[in-house]
Structure 1
Amino acid sequence: MNRLIPPSKRLIAQFSPTAAFNIPGDKSLSHRAALFSALAEGESMISNFLDSGVTHVMLTALSALDIEWTLDANTLVVHGKGLNGFTTPAEPLYCGHSATTIRLLAGAVAASGIGVTLDGSPGLRKRPMDRIIDPLRKLGVEISASNTGTAPLVLTARDPRKGLLGGTIQLSQASAQVKTCVLLAGLAAQSDLIIHEPGPSRDHSERMLKSMGVPLQINGLTIRMPQFSTPLQPLSLRLPGDISAAAFLIVAAIITPESNFIFEEVGLNPTRTGLLDVLTAMGANLDMQVTSQIAGELTGRIIARSSKLNGITVSGDLVVRMIDEFPIFAVAAACAEGETVVKDAGELRYKESDRIKALCQQLQKIGIKIRETQDGFIIQGNQHIPGGTAQSCGDHRLAMSLAVAGLASKHGVSVEGANIINQSFPAFFDLLQHTGTSL
């Protein structure tokens, strides 16, 4: 599917000066809520669950593991069977394009003790899995992969009564997916588990597991999980809106004249708000207010207005806090005054695409002056974006970023392969039209 995004002089010309949005549920939290509920004992109910292609991959895998669930009007009900409640599936579990799904499932399956093969799309088979294989083996999990350390992953069954090893795990990189994989496997450990991270990463799993009764002790970059045998408590919560999804419309408001967008009940977890901090430092007119806290997650309101931006350098720990937002950040940087430099972002080369290369190539096609570096990119700002035709490269975030760039372009942007957006944000084009944009 191709979508043409025309230029817009005033994004909300057909509406009042203020547009309000309720963003779909957070994708990272939806993944975790579904899987963690399956490991709990009893019925969990999660509202504002993200109903998308990628979350259905997780739910389909849970069905194959003999976990019952229903999803109606974005409310997910999961009938958890406890840590040892999975049934060995007849076929390999297909994880689609989702590295989150395969890495989190690996930890959960390791804890359950069943044997299973985890596989995915050709793109997923290129994603590195040694980062979870090594720590799982240290915990006593028998797991193998392809010769290149990628999927398919094969976990061998064990007697669940024997449990897994505890001990100390030093992660090789700051990664919420790897950390969560180890934490889930650690639920079956027969002694204390200690995890050391080399740097900060998203902490959704820690917050949710603590709300389910796991006695995690967190001190800086060290997590201690004491050995325990109490069943996980079921979840009953409403997920906040996805800050990574809201980011596209936040930038749309900033780079177009007279825009004033309000986002209600959006997740404001500090490990996810790096983009907001960077945009504010660039001069963006943003207001943020925490209004509630659910299952340890901060939720609140964001107001984004048209703003003049200045270039900036992004590096270090800040990169992890906005790792999914670099495609849309690049669009904002192209509209800023001066040069923007991104460093220390080499992990972007291992996303749905080589995101650095794909981002630079596709933005260049629509006239943005961007140059690839080994671990990031450099953008010359204050640009008048000509527009043109670009490809999604099978990357949902790149596709949405190109669409937003079209709003600030002279001739519009045609995005080829835009249907990939349905994997993470099916409502994206509907919400974009709510701003007054004609597609």
Structure 2
Amino acid sequence: MAVGLGPLPTLHPVPGFELGIASAGIKRPGRKDVVVMRCSENATVAGVFTLNAFCAAPVILAKKRVHGGVRYLLTNTGNANAGTGEPGLVAAQRTCARLAELAGVDEGAVLPFSTGVIGEPLPVEKIEAALPAALADLSEANWAQAAAGIMTTDTLPKGASRQFEHDGVAVTVTGISKGAGMIRPNMATMLGYIATDAKVAQGVLQDLLRDAANKSFNRITIDGDTSTNDCCMLIATGQAALPEISQASGPLFTALKQAVFDVAMELAQGIVRDGEGATKFVTVKVDGGATQQECLDVAYAVAHSPLIKTALFASDPNWGRILAAVGRAGVPQLNVGLIDVYLDDLCIASKGGRAATYTEEQGARVMAQAELCIRIELGRGTSSETIWTTDLSHEYVRINAEYRT
């Protein structure tokens, strides 16, 4: 069950960005598993992609094309088209070429995205057969349907939307994402799409997306696995009657940055809340580091520890596991006598051992919550970092043991 993740909020249409959904039946008949997105002419598009060396064929192709007059984004679920070698690249090109032919655009204006099982050939014919229906379904109002169409092991669709006014003109930022497992993004999430009707220069848009991803999608982890298919796209259609944002400064840019960051953060945290088998939404906050990197190293050591994650599932306040993870995070010359550890506001460990006032009953009460914070004070400096993670449950094991069956 998703932790604190409810129905989709209102997803405001973005002028100049349309979405169409159709069924190719890749994994099962009738499943809406192909999504086509159309950008207005002269839209600017930015992307961040997985750092996994075994990146999927669609990632290779999308990275080459992202800065070259993109008009269409083509997504399929049920098949990752990863680990498929040269035939996989040819298959991705074929689906793009067919969509380009149907839409009357250059093949290079189509970006492919895939998610699902790794190592299986892409069912090109099924996808091609679904494209006319997806094109016929294109609408600016189809965000919710598209959010469902890109799901794999997700239990709920994920979307977020913000609007603000500048000089009396409304500006919209809306996004959707998918992801529930194989999540430790080294750039973004499994798949994410955010669009705005602001007009933004490509370089500014790329930097904005990179910054937003680093503070949101790059601060989440479910199981420590970086996907072969991670992609996040930011599209600016330029349909709002406002001047182009050509530099990263000024009131309009500041307002847009805040809206994009808010949408990205809501989507990223939604992925954690819907983590495979998750029963806990856990914030890991590390304060007092000498550098941001050592704060992140400590936070991920805690968030990736199977012993801590299973203790979270059992609501067991086994604080010794947290100390062990902090100690192996690789922080140079770490003085354990300066470290304090908290569950929410409850100090459980101090100066290298159990806090004098701490009791197991207090810890168990906090650990029983569906949402909690593990806070670590390093006492080394002024840097701070926060990430979000889940527990590790029997259900996570079942889902991934049965993923291909």
TM-score, normalization by structure 1: 0.27
TM-score between the two structures when normalised by the length of structure 2: 0.29
